Amino acid sequence: MDEGKATVRLKEPPVDICLSKANSSSLKSFLTAVRLAHRGCDIEARLTTFTPVKTSEFEKFKTKMVITSKKDYPLSKNFPYSLEHLQTSYCGLVRIDTRMLCLRNLRKLDLSHNHIKKLPATIGDLIHLQELNLNDNHLESFSVALCQSTLQTSLRSLDLSKNKIKALPVQFCQLRELTDLKLDDNELIRFPFKMGQLTKLRFLSAARNKLPFLPSEFKNLSLEYLDLFGNTFEQPKVLPIIMLQTPLTLLESSAQAVLHNRIPYGSHIIPFHLCQDLDTAKTCVCGRFCLNSFIQGTTTMNLHSVAHTVVLVDNMGGTEAPVMSYFCSVACYVNSCDMLK
């Protein structure tokens, strides 16, 4: 009490009231009055009159704010620093307000139904962000910088539906905490070929895009719900595309060694274009890696093999989709064909 702190435990309802930063003498008087009242005694001591809390002071501790019209959007004052959930929809935003990027406690950010064209890399500074909703904007890409930010360990749910995204970078698969991903109504022509690294993904929706096939690592997913309706899936090609090199180039051999032995690399060690080559290396069905020497072939897979609930791929009742696979040698290709048979 001498430090202005006390805890009052109530039996009904069963809650603890924690007091802090109180005037020690006032706190002692208050607790004395509470004790006397609890015993049924008359209270002669007069309690000091407290000044009501101002609305502006209370708003500083708000954890949730929902704004759904342009006229309600705050222009002259900052957002409460304590916000954990912020929604600003139908506000006509063409870029993300930098004031939002200072809200270090944000866990859910909903910027749906605006006109945002580009995402700043500083979104990655929101270290607690778990849900990001960008549905119905004008986005054309999702940057590599965001994929390599703290979102790797925090982001659980991402909604990019109803945008103009044509492709996601291969680094997108570093967002390995993702459980929910919505990509409906974009212009996607491919998935990142390392899609199988999203091992925690459970809900995936990418309906009404322009996907011609799925990457081979798609088979590694374990989903509860999958929706790929309305994509322009192609029929598997009968003949493979052969791009084998004999003997392997020094670049190919070096790249295989680096990736196989998991040797760390970066643009501070090797040229940036070599980093890109390593990032986009293809994985053979045998587990080996290949850059420019491979056989490319397509097969089909039943989507029920990776998802419990599957929305039909087309109006004909189909649940199969073409898969693009890569093989590091003729032997791997032949063995794969034999297994399929």
- Secondary structure (DSSP) of 44-90: -SPPPPPPPPPHHHHHTT--EEEE-SGGGS-SSSPPPTT-SEEEE-S
Are the CB atoms for 48 and 33 separated by under 8 Å?
no
Q: Of 189, 211, 227, 193, which is closest to residue 306 (Cα–Cα)? A: 227
DSSP character at residue 299 = E
Give pLDDT tens digits for 88-139.
Answer: 999 999 999 999 999 999 999 999 999 999 999 999 999 999 999 999 999 9
Inform me whether the pLDDT recorded for 341 exceeds 50: no
Cα distance between residue 218 and residue 324, in whole Å: 10
Structural tokens at position 169? 């970078």
How is residue 85 written in tokens? Answer: 């959930």
Residue 87 bridge partners (DSSP): 66, 110
B/e letters for 58-89, b = 16+ CB within 10 Å, e = fewer, are eeeeeeebebeeeeeeeeeeebbeebbbbbbb
Query: What DSSP character marks residue 114?
Result: S
Closest by Cα among 334, 304, 332 to 319: 304
| Confidence at 56, pLDDT banded by 50, 70, 90 | low
Tokens of residue 110, six digits? 């909903």
- Domains located in the chain, CATH noted: 1-59 (no CATH), 64-187 (3.80.10.10), 241-306+317-339 (no CATH)
Residue of 25 and 128 predicted with greater confidence: 128
Residue 57 has pLDDT above 60, yes or no: no
Would you state the structure tokens that stand for residue 49, as one six-digit string?
């009159």
Give the model confidence (pLDDT) of 306-323 as tens digits: 999 999 887 777 899 999
Contact 207, 230 (CB under 8 A): yes
| Mean pLDDT score of the chain | 89
Assess whether pLDDT exceeds 70 at residue 338.
no
The β-bridge partners of 6 are: 19
Q: How far from 238 is each of 13, 98, 165, 211, CA to CA, in Å?
A: 72, 52, 30, 19
Does residue 260 carry a pLDDT above 80? Answer: yes
Better-predicted residue by pLDDT, 151 or 284: 151
